[in-house]
Structure 1
Amino acid sequence: MIRFLTALFLMAGLAGAATAQSNYIIQPGDTLQVEVLEDPELGRNVLVLPDGSISFPLAGSLQAGGRTVDGVARTLTQRLAGDFAVEPTVLVSVAALGPDSQELMDIYIIGEANQPGLREVETGTTLLQFLAQAGGLSRFAAKTRIQLRRIDRNSGQERVYRFNYNSMGGANSISGTTVLAPGDVIVVPERRLFEFTR
């Protein structure tokens, strides 16, 4: 009885997680956690294969990629129903995202970068990493006056941060390890005549 109650509480927690993930579209490389309330021994993590399929005991192979966790749970319930006296309760949640499921964000760079324009970068990318992805700075860049322009989500106001590429931070400069946010704009001004560049 204690084992059953423990499993019941576990399932309740998993149900909450599954509800929160119900709109997520499963991708190849993701790992799904599948629990069957009526038979805890069937519970396991399954990897979504490159073709989008998963394999589960008593249910065989089925398509998971491109579907929601709720949709996969319904299919598993249907396939397992013949092996139980009553329709089983199947809970599916995303245990881990695959390497290709990293969230991307739009970052812009204008001015004296070797490759200015829009770039999609992974969440967590730093300012210095982004400058490297933009091909570095041109020989005409004012390296001590780079700007990071960001819209404050609460106030809607633009905030401007200065970055000194030569010192990688310090007084009146953010650090090169500053993590970028979606929609950030990096402005690299052109160096003035006789402007100090070192």
Structure 2
Amino acid sequence: MVLRRGLLAAFPALLSGCASWQAPGFHLPKLPPAPPGPYRLGPGDALNLRVFDQAQMSGSYHVDDGGNIDLPLLGLVQAGGLSTDALAKSIASQLQARQLILHPSVAVEIATYRPFYTLGEVTTPGPYPYRPGMTVLTAISIAGGFTYRAETAYVGVTRTIGSKAAQYRAPTTAMVLPGDVITVFERRF
């Protein structure tokens, strides 16, 4: 009888512990929408640059860890955070300001986007090439799909906004950006 009373007294405490339990990643803030406007370059992007009538400056370049590209005649040029159009205008104005080319015509296009990454309960975690218009579900499919233990309703997305990286909770319909780290949580039974 004493044992039964002890269990009955402990039962509400056990239930209150269950009420405060949340699935992994559920406590994360919701993923904000992708910033409007054109794509912003960042470390890991590969670019094709063409300067009209200047074969020595035209070619393929990679944005380095500092967000720069190293151009002949100009040296390091800031590319991180700029759109391709803004980078082309910046290069043209620097060439003109240094009086290297009187009326430069510059074109910049993205050859390869920086990769996105998958972690956790996916068949093959790792880095994968980004494609514009990808959703989280598309990214998980590229990584081989969910494992049988995966939480399939939402994921964690680590994204750098400005200069700060933070982790957010996102549905599988959310848009992926280059450099995102997608974490698929383990489902709790």
Normalised by the length of structure 1, the TM-score is 0.45
